[in-house]
Structures are given as C-alpha cells and as structure tokens.
Homo-oligomer: A and B are copies of this chain.
Amino acid sequence: MKIAVIGATGYTGAELLRILSMHPRVEVSVLTSDSSAGKSIAQLYPHVRDIYKHTLQQADPAEIAKQADLAFVALPGGLSSGIVPGLIEAGLKVIDLGGDFRLPAPLYETWYKKQAPPVELQQQAVYGLSEWYAEEIAQANLITNPGCYPTATLLGLLPLVKNGLIELDSIVVDAKSGVSGAGKALSLNTHYPEINENLKAYKLGVHQHIPEIETQLARVAGEDVTISFTTHLVPMVRGILTTSYARLKDRWTTRDLLDLYQQVYEGATFVRIRPEGEFPATKEVATSNYCDIGLYVDERTRRVTVISVIDNLVKGASGQAVQNLNLMNGWDEATGLGFVPVYP
C-alpha cells in the first residue's frame, strides 16, 4: 500500500516517517511540504539520512493520487480543510491528524475561531479513537484522528461514563503535556530558556480540546457533559499525563474498578491497566503506542482519580493514526507498531 504524508516536516509528520519505516505492509511514496518543496527530507531532518531519500513535493491532490492510495494529513491547524476535500475527491483515503474535522461546525467555529470545513465532509469523518470505534473506522474513507489530550482523557474516563458510574457534572481533568505537543512553530512559549526548569498552566477555559472531550463523553453518556479542564506545559519533550477526578455514584473499591477496566480493554493491545497501587509514568510509554492507566478510589471523598499516560506524538497522534490505518485495512491493529517503550 502506498502512502503519502502531507506536511512531512512538522513533528507529527516526522513521527509518521519513523513509524511507517518499520511497517511491513506499506511504502511511503510521497512526502509533501509547501514551504520546503524541492529540498530533500534529510536536509530538514538529518536523523532520517540514508533511511528516507525523498524530495519534498508541493501538495497537489491529483499528483498525490497518482502515487499513493492513502494520505496522512499532518498540517498545522486550519489547513487540513483546504486539502482534504481534494484528496477525497481524487479517490484517496485520508487520515487527518489536525483538528479541523473533529467538531460539528458550530462548536468548531466557536472554539477554533476559524471557518469550519464543509459540513458534509465533517459528518462523514469518523472519530479515530481506535479502541472505541474500530468498526466505524474499518469502514471509513476519512478519519479525523483524535487530539492528544482527548485520547488520554477519553481512554481513561470512558469506561466510567459508559457504565454510568460517575456524576457527570463532577468531572475535573488536570492535564499535563510535554512541549512537542505545541509543534515546531517558533514561539516564546516554547523557547528553551523560558521552558526548562519551568511549569505553567495555559489556555484556561479556552483550550479547543475541551469541546472535543465533552462531545465524545456526551456521545457515550447519551446526555450533555460539561467538564473542568486545565492544561499545563511540562519541561520535557514527549508525554501526556492526565489526572481525572470524578465523584462515584456508588461505593466502588479500587480493585473492582480495575477489574472493570480490564474487561473493557480486554483484547486492546495498546491499553495497559496497571495493578492496584501502581500508577503509570509518561516515560513508561515513551515512543510507543501504549496508553497506560492506573486508578485510585478515595473512600473519604468518594472520588475516583484516573491517571492516564501516552506519548503525545504516538498514541496521541501518529501512532494512533497508523493504528487506524491498520483497522481500515483489516490488519491487526498492532501491525508495525510493536515497538517497546524507550526506557530510560
């Protein structure tokens, strides 16, 4: 199967290159970058020297369709909607790693402050949370790959919501991310001396992942859900850890909830439930497609705390995208993703 990576020079693009080079059933045939077209990828990313010898192309859907069967679109926010319609029309399957297709138009315009993509296409896009929507994904032509924070948060909370165990208005999600989540664009907020030995909260109340999480929780809950959600920037390159708090409707023990999670994720290669008393660290999933989950029930407050960790560039972006590629093709979901976390 021939693959195009649209926007190969950002971090999610680079991560796709890393992952796809080890995938036994695909060949990367096209790399595009509008700003660096004509250069070799190794000029921009010396780490792929000798591994990728491609020259970067302009992103022209008709040309891409001649050379590839499926396109990963890894463009900065708001740019996917410019090219995805053309790619679909040209007959390609598309996995979009941006946020353009994740929300219904009115929510999108409210939170992203941009014009929404064509409604029809947005409605046709399947939300690619692999462990929860594998069947729909298998049928899709257009996948809208989940955001990094939503992936960690939803994998951690959906078992509770699905089973009606928590008070829906009690959810507080405190989320922390490494800096690669902010991408490759330069900003004082990601300038090394500003970030190292520093920790800060950002985008309080306005982060565009809030409506994405709420939409997906509501879909499973069958009713509206509103959450408190705060994001923090942590001085590390990779990793997301979400700490989610919710009030249990009934008294559950930690052990019983862990059993429930084990059942919910039975057969899911990439979700690992930790034993009682053990909580995952981001490094324990680094560079891999795993989402590890630990939880704790505080009997004093009747709240459950769920700790969920991913590598934001893998399960939070490019890895899950490849997992979705596998599902779309009827391959084992772990094909080409069987690498062990890098530790330490």
Which residues of A are interface residues toward B (Cβ below 8 A)? 11, 14, 17-18, 21-22, 45-51, 169, 172, 174, 176, 178-180, 184, 186-188, 190-202, 204-205, 226-228, 230, 232, 234-239, 241, 243, 245, 272, 274, 278-288, 292, 294, 296, 298, 300-301, 303, 305, 307, 309, 338-344
In contact, A199 and B22 (Cβ under 8 angstroms): no
Q: Which of A190, A230, A340 has the most CB of B within 10 A?
A: A340
Q: Chain B's nearest CB lies how many Å from the CB of A65?
A: 27
Complex CA distance for A35 and B55, rounded to whole angstroms: 39
**What residues of B have a CB within 8 angstroms of the CB of A278 in the complex?**
46
In the complex, besides A179-B196, A197-B238, A237-B344, 9 extra interface pairs with C-beta distance below 8 angstroms are A14-B343, A14-B344, A18-B340, A46-B280, A174-B243, A191-B192, A199-B239, A200-B241, A287-B342
Q: Chain B's nearest CB lies how many Å from the CB of A270?
A: 10
> Taking A200-B282, A296-B205 as contacts, is the C-beta distance between A343 and B45 under 8 angstroms?
yes
In contact, B232 and A243 (Cβ under 8 angstroms): yes
> Taking A197-B283, A284-B47 as contacts, is the C-beta distance between A22 and B339 under 8 angstroms?
yes
- The residue from B47, B230, B243, B283 contacting A285, defined by CB atoms under 8 A apart: B47
> Taking A198-B239, A228-B245 as contacts, is the C-beta distance between A279 and B204 under 8 angstroms?
yes
Q: Chain B's nearest CB lies how many Å from the CB of A221?
A: 16
In contact, A192 and B237 (Cβ under 8 angstroms): yes
In contact, B197 and A48 (Cβ under 8 angstroms): no
**What residues of B have a CB within 8 angstroms of the CB of A174 in the complex?**
172, 174, 230, 243, 245
**What residues of B have a CB within 8 angstroms of the CB of A237 in the complex?**
192-193, 196-197, 344
Closest to A307 in B: B201
Complex CA distance for A239 and B232, rounded to whole angstroms: 14
**What residues of B have a CB within 8 angstroms of the CB of A234 in the complex?**
199, 234-235
**What residues of B have a CB within 8 angstroms of the CB of A14 in the complex?**
343-344
Q: Chain B's nearest CB lies how many Å from the CB of A226?
A: 5
In contact, A46 and B274 (Cβ under 8 angstroms): yes
A-B interface, 4 closest residue pairs, ranked by CB to CB distance from nearest: A200-B281, A174-B174, A198-B283, A193-B344
Complex CA distance for A45 and B303, rounded to whole angstroms: 29
In contact, B190 and A193 (Cβ under 8 angstroms): yes
Complex CA distance for A298 and B228, rounded to whole angstroms: 8
In contact, B340 and A47 (Cβ under 8 angstroms): yes
Complex CA distance for A249 and B320, rounded to whole angstroms: 42
In contact, B287 and A287 (Cβ under 8 angstroms): yes
Q: List 28 A-B contacts (CB under 8 A).
A: A21-B340, A22-B339, A46-B281, A47-B283, A47-B285, A47-B340, A47-B343, A49-B292, A50-B272, A172-B303, A176-B176, A178-B193, A180-B193, A186-B187, A192-B192, A192-B235, A193-B344, A196-B196, A197-B238, A197-B283, A198-B239, A199-B309, A200-B282, A201-B279, A228-B245, A237-B344, A245-B245, A339-B339
Complex CA distance for A238 and B197, rounded to whole angstroms: 7
In contact, B46 and A284 (Cβ under 8 angstroms): yes
**What residues of B have a CB within 8 angstroms of the CB of A340 in the complex?**
17-18, 21-22, 47-48, 51
Q: Chain B's nearest CB lies how many Å from the CB of A299?
A: 9
Complex CA distance for A236 and B197, rounded to whole angstroms: 5
